[in-house]
Amino acid sequence: MTPDAHIPDGPLKDKWTHYKNHAKIISPANKRKFKILIVGSGLAGGSAAATLGEQGYDIECFCYQDSPRRAHSIAAQGGINAAKNYQNDGDSAYRLFYDTVKGGDFRSRESNVHRLAEVSNAIIDQCVAQGVPFAREYGGLLGNRSFGGAQVSRTFYARGQTGQQLLLGTYQALSAQIGTGKVKMFPRTEMLDLVLVDGHAKGIVVRDMVTGEIRSHAGDAVLLCTGGYGNVFYLSTNAKGCNVTATWRAYKRGAFFANPCYTQIHPTCIPVSGDYQSKLTLMSESLRNDGRVWAPKRKEDCAKAPQDIPEEDRDYYLERKYPSFGNLAPRDISSRSAKEICDEGRGVGPTGLGVYLDFADAIKRLGRDVVEERYSNLFEMYHNITGENAYERPMRIYPAVHYTMGGLWVDYNLMSNIPGLHVLGEANFSDHGANRLGASALMQGLADGYFVIPYTLGNYLTSQFGKKRPETTDPAFQEVEKEVRERTAALLAVKGTRSVDSFHRELGMLLWDKCGMARDKAGLEEAIARLPKLREEFWKDVRVLGVGENLNESLEKAGRVADFLEFGELMCRDALARDESCGGHFRIDHQTPDGEALRDDENFSHVAAWQYQGPNAVPTRNEEPLVYEEVKLATRSYK
């Protein structure tokens, strides 16, 4: 079947305005009758809860963290894009839209991306009004920088802590609503399943992570704002708790999972140093504005100290290969180039998996104080982790899993194919295509929550007038609750020999190897064959100690890893079925002679929306064609 994206008619630039002018509106008196369940409290969930609460809806918001202020949006460093054109450098909503579609390697939905670019400016206004202390110039106006492959300066930032400041703005807006009682907040509460009543999403089953209580919540609509699935690789820049469980459970209840193979590998992370390692640390790619990426030209020089390698023996490979974008080439391209260098044996550092990011020229050009002003917190972080001083010797960096463009399929209303189930932020698939541009994740999360869902939710809710919200005593709830209890009990009952982490690590290594920065048919097939065995072993041999009725992190992790073990297979299936290269999905069997991604627009200009068919059955791959009215498909070139 072809899922219907419900894209409004009319010229691209007028679609959203037209939609808003004709959107169904719910009166204030009726808004309070609707209860909305929002899972996740990051930029998308937090901003949706704050805005919908303030509009009068009855909101329940859930997060696994101990406070909504800790959602992983907080870790974004670099910035947030908006088409303000405050720098008078030729920016516009159209250009932001075009850059985003091109950056996504022409695999995103035009209408959604255009809307994102249109609302981008309102986000900045909103954040400033909330007290987000963005960087400013001496005259008091907002500062901007060029970021992540953009040729204009459209990125707003708050030192290296933009995500933190935006999330705290959202958290404060959310807190105001919690204070007035419009939003009821449930921290340390994890969604473990979705409840459908007559085919509509009407509730969730959660586990209280302190008492272990498993209970249901009923609502008139459910919003999943639960982030990405990067932790399927075990090592990633995601927080340790980030997981796929909410979206995966929704998938198993019938929601389509779109483009799971689109994963973003961030080029500037601190290299892995050993197998004890629990996570990878990202260094903001804003560093690439002033740092120059290089590797030794000759393998023999790799072991030398960088300052002993003379200028003529250094290969500034991004500047060499992409003269017009240079060190600012998009993430997928920069990451792959670093991998190629290391594959050639020219990597640096103890593992040979690293390249240099050098600030010597920037310090010469700008002075150390300017470099400190721009990046001091990042330099400190690097020093803290590696013990090296990046003012004196170049940083070592290597790509790491960072963001996932795939997610639950949604239409223009941000509603999945399950009526009532809406998906916002990184958890959906819609705006970034096969590769996300830097400083666009924060933009999308806040756009969805502050400015899109408040308009589009009414479209669904007006269809529910006169229908009574089901009670949690409804048999549909009882049934799902029972399944969740059984599953939790099953994890505790295995009593095997291996820890949850050991399985997670094994899964991660397999996927990084076969479905990471470079993929091929044979490797993907091998992973698809191995994953069911790993799952079987997990359910036979995992050791989860303790009980369900207490705070038990091993149990939480076990449930998440069980889902990752299933999800990983879908990711590989998607990567195998997408027999082309595009953006972050690089198939080594599809590349141009100079090693760039080779798209196949004729056969793959579509969204793959996977449909669950039951345990052990091969899922169905539905296609939503991507129709480009405004943008002409072109080979993405950053040369």
| 241 counts as binding other proteins under rule CB under 8 A | yes
The Cα 204–Cα 216 span in angstroms is 6
Tell which positions 308-327 bind other proteins, by CB under 8 A.
Answer: none
Indicate whether 126 belongs to the interface with other proteins (CB under 8 A). Answer: yes
Per-residue binding string, other proteins, 374-403, x by CB under 8 A, is -------x--xx-x----------------
User: Per CB under 8 A, which region of 170-178, 295-303, 481-489, 591-599 contacts other proteins?
Assistant: 170-178
Strands 35-39 and 221-224: parallel
108 binds other proteins (CB under 8 A): no
Q: Which stretch binds other proteins (CB under 8 A): 13-21, 232-240, 293-301, 411-419?
A: 232-240
- Residue 458: CB partners within 8 Å, gap ≥ 6? 23, 24, 25, 26
Is 506 or 601 the residue whose CB approaches other proteins more closely?
506
- Residue 380, token pair as written in the block: 């400190």
- The whole-angstrom separation of Cα 342 and Cα 337 is 9
Whether the Cβ atoms of residue 170 and residue 178 lie closer than 8 Å to each other? no
Out of 15, 31, 35, 70, the residue judged to bind other proteins by CB under 8 A: 70
| Calpha distance 278→475 (Å, rounded) | 41
Contact 208, 268 (CB under 8 A): no
98 burial type by CB count under 10 A (0-12 exposed, 13-18 middle, 19+ buried) = middle
Q: What secondary structure, in 3-state letters, does 195-241 show?
A: EEECCEEEEEEEEECCCCCEEEEECCEEEECCCCCHHHHCCCCCCCC
Min CB(189)–other proteins separation in Å: 13
Q: Is 239 in the site for other proteins (CB under 8 A)?
A: yes
**Contact between 46 and other proteins per CB under 8 A:** no
The single residue among 36, 49, 74, 511 that binds other proteins, judged by CB under 8 A, is 74
Q: Which of residues 491-530 bind other proteins (CB under 8 A)?
A: 499, 501-502
Our CB check for other proteins shows the closer of 74 and 415 to be: 74
Residue 86 binds other proteins, judged by CB under 8 A: yes
Of 43-51, 94-102, 189-197, 591-599, which segment contacts other proteins by CB under 8 A? 43-51
Q: Is 582 in the site for other proteins (CB under 8 A)?
A: no
What does the alpha-carbon distance between residue 388 and residue 395 come to, in Å, rounded to a whole number?
8
CB of 541 to other proteins, least distance (A): 13
Q: Choose which of 282, 318, 515, 524 interacts with other proteins (CB under 8 A).
A: 282
Per CB under 8 A, the list member of 11, 28, 29, 141 interacting with other proteins is 141
The CB-of-393 to other proteins minimum distance in angstroms stands at 17
Give the interface segment with other proteins, choosing from 159-167, 220-228, 527-535, 566-574 (CB under 8 A): 159-167
Contact call for residue 83 and other proteins (CB under 8 A): no
> Which of 25, 490, 545, 577 touches other proteins by CB under 8 A?
545
Binding of other proteins by 633 (CB under 8 A): no
**Would you give the DSSP letter of residue 611?**
E
Long-range contacts of 365-370 (CB under 8 A, 24+ apart): 366/290
The single residue listed with the structure tokens 């400015």 is 451
**Sequence-separated (6 or more) residues with CB below 8 Å from residue 610:** 251, 256, 257, 258, 260, 570, 573, 574, 619, 620, 621, 622
Contact 148, 162 (CB under 8 A): no
Instruction: Please give the residues from 413 up to 472 whose contact with other proteins meets the rule CB under 8 A.
Output: 450-451, 454
Is 17 a residue that touches other proteins (CB under 8 A)? no
182 lies in the site for other proteins, by CB under 8 A:
no
Pick from 115, 156, 206: nearest CA to 455: 115
For residues 316-352, one letter each, b for 16 or more C-beta atoms within 10 angstroms of the residue's C-beta and e for the rest, the string is: bbbeebbeebbbbbbbbbbbbbbbbbbeeebbbbeee
Examine residue 72 and tell whether it contacts other proteins (CB under 8 A).
Answer: yes
From 29-37, 195-203, 251-259, 540-548, give the range in contact with other proteins by CB under 8 A: 540-548
Burial class for 547, CB neighbours closer than 10 Å (0-12, 13-18, 19+): exposed
CB of 23 to other proteins, least distance (A): 14
Among 1, 210, 303, 618, binds other proteins (CB under 8 A): 210
Q: Pick one of 146, 161, 435, 605: the residue that binds other proteins (CB under 8 A).
A: 161
Q: Which amino acid is at 208?
A: D
Longest Cα separation, the chain: 76
Report the site for other proteins in 328-347 (rule: CB under 8 A).
none
69 binds other proteins, rule: CB under 8 A: yes
